Structure formats: C-alpha cells, structure tokens
Amino acid sequence: MKLAMAGLMTTTLLLSACGNNNAANNGTAATTAPAATAEATTAPAETTAPAVEQTVTDAMGHKVTIPANPQRVLASYLEDYLVALGVTPVAQWSVTNGTMEYLTAELKDVPTISYDLPLEAVTSFAPDFHIVQSEGTVQNGLYDQLNKIAPTYVLGDEVSKDWRKSLLKIGELLNKTPEAEAAITAYDQKAADAKAKISAAIGDESVAILWLVSKSFFIVDETRSSGAVLYGDLGLKLPNLVTEIPAESRATWNPISLEKLSELTADHIILVNSDGADAAEITDGAIWKGIPAVKAGNVHEFGRATSWLYSGPIANSKTIDDALSSLVK
C-alpha cells in the first residue's frame, strides 16, 4: 500500500508539473533444413534460435502470453526503458500540458496517450503487447478491460522501484536481455567515472535536490528518482532534511515548507523549477535567500523539461550529465 500511495503521489505531482526503432523484433526466421540425399544428409547452417511466444506470470499473478515478436508495444510511463532497448512505443505517456520532455528527441514522431489510459485510446493504437508499471493503475476491473485489447503485463511496484530490475524484466519480456544488460553495464561505468570526478571536485560537500512546482517545494527521497542517482550511484552526501524524514512516511518527492527549508544545511542545491518565471515570488524572498547554499551561490537550476523528476536508464544518464556540469568546474 505504501508503494502504491507513493506512486499515486508522484503521478499527482507530475500532473501539476506538466499540465517518465520499431517494436521489439529480434527473432530470426527459422532456417529450413536441406533435403536428405541417398548418400548423405547435409547439416543445416547454425542459426540464431527464433524468438518464441512465451507465457509469464506478472506481479498480480496473471498468466500472460506474450507474442514472439511484439510489433506494437504500449508501455505508458515506461518509455525510457523501451527507448534504451531500441524499441519505439506505439504511443507515449502524456498529461494535459505535456509529455516526458527529456525524451522529446527520441519520441518526436510518437503520438500521445493520456496517463489514465482511456480504453478507446488504447484500442485505437491496436497494441499487440501492453506493459503497465503499477498494480495501483489497473484496479477496479481496468486490468481485465485492457487485457481484452492486448496481452497486458503488470510490472509491479516491487520491480518498478529499481530501474535496473525494471530494465532487465522489460528486456526479458521483449527478447532484449542482451541490450538491457549492455545498457546497465554502460551506465554503471559512466556513474563510476562521474563519481570519481565529482568526489575530486567537491569532496564530502552535501547536495539537496528540490522541486518547485505550483509554488510548493518537494525534496527527493534518497532511494528513488534522481535521489538514487546522486546518493546511491554517485555517492554524494545527503543533506540534513532528507535524513530527518521518517522512513515510514517517505514518498519519492516529499513536501517541505519554505520555513523548514530555512534549516537546510546542504552545500549545494539542485533546483528543479517547474514554475519558471513565477518562481521569483519565492526565490526573491528573504527566507530563500537566507539558505546557506543560496547565499553561497551554489544553486544549480534546471527547468521542468529536465530528467531529474524521472527514473530510467536514459533519465539517470542525463541526470549524471547535469550533475557533472553543475558540480565539476
């Protein structure tokens, strides 16, 4: 329930902020064995085994039969993973005023579908395989309705909270395991290189990640989204206010008052500003200007099109790029 609520809260926040190759086809046609002669039989050339239809069990216990080579994959809010695997989705997640803008270049020709997956819209895209991120998004009979349109696999919150597990599972479902493993290896090497550079530049200085949206602040959890990148993969020091949030009440992004922010002792602030110019009402105020990192000029600001609000191999890689440009001079 906690994970489901955290996911729901994140979706709600993203709605406020905005308004996270052909489909997998790596099978090889079977080679027909040559006919035997009276004297000898010629062995067929060795070929890659063709992809086959597979039946798997998803996070909700559904038995799902996946086509051997799905051509029209729908995986709303999981597009980062598909792109990393070389798969173009049949439609991409959206809210009223936008999409996951950090993927604009990769998905520029992909039509949008509303985040709440209207059945008419899902039907219109004629998917042949559908991946859903969370159990909480397919309650009250929605799973059965979606599954009538196309085989539907629920990834589940337990897998979704770890982007590496998510990528490996999606790779397995789409016959793209080698691509998934290669993407993780490349990312881990990039993170290790960046960690060394940032450590050399700022030592044990702490970094806070704040999101300003609709004139309210949120601070990221250390284990999710861009927090997992900075504090996990890059080994940066946590700021005091993150460690003070009770573990049982943590969400991916945790609301925090401006008055509480006045107690922030972080040496650096990554500010994701979804309010644009309207943020001046707060950032020109005395409380904000009195925060030590602000006074020291150590605020590194990014707009709402940033990857910092999302998670996945591409989002996290872009977050590392931003961290390097901000912290290594």
User: Do 2-20+50-176 and 192-327 agree at the fold level?
Assistant: yes
Residue 42, pLDDT score: 39
Contact 151, 54 (CB under 8 A): no
d(CA 143, CA 154): 9
Please tell me the pTM assigned to this model: 0.84
The residue whose two tokens read 């530049």 is 201
Q: What are phi and psi of 102, to 5 degrees?
A: -70, -10
256 CB burial (10 A radius; 0-12, 13-18, 19+) = buried
The string of pLDDT tens digits covering residues 43-70 is: 444 444 567 899 999 999 999 999 999 9
CATH T-level assignment (fold) for domain 192-327: Rossmann fold (3.40.50)
pLDDT at residue 34, rounded to an integer: 32
What is the mean predicted confidence (pLDDT) over 140-148?
A: 97
Q: Rounded CA gap, 102 and 304, in Å?
A: 9
pLDDT, mean over the chain: 87
Q: Which CATH superfamily is domain 2-20+50-176 in?
A: Nitrogenase molybdenum iron protein domain (3.40.50.1980)
In tens, the pLDDT along 255-289 reads 999 999 999 999 999 999 999 999 999 999 999 99
- Model confidence pLDDT, tens digit, residues 252-262: 999 999 999 99
Q: For residue 275, what pLDDT is reported? A: 96
Residue 128 CB neighbours (<10 A): 17
Provide the pLDDT confidence category of residue 248 given band limits of 50, 70 and 90.
confident
**Computed from CA positions of residues 317, 323, 325, 329, in that sequence, does the dihedral angle turn out positive or negative?**
negative
Domain boundaries, the chain: 2-20+50-176, 192-327
Q: Kindly report, residue by residue over 155-201, the tens digit of the pLDDT.
A: 999 999 999 999 999 999 999 999 999 999 999 999 999 999 999 99
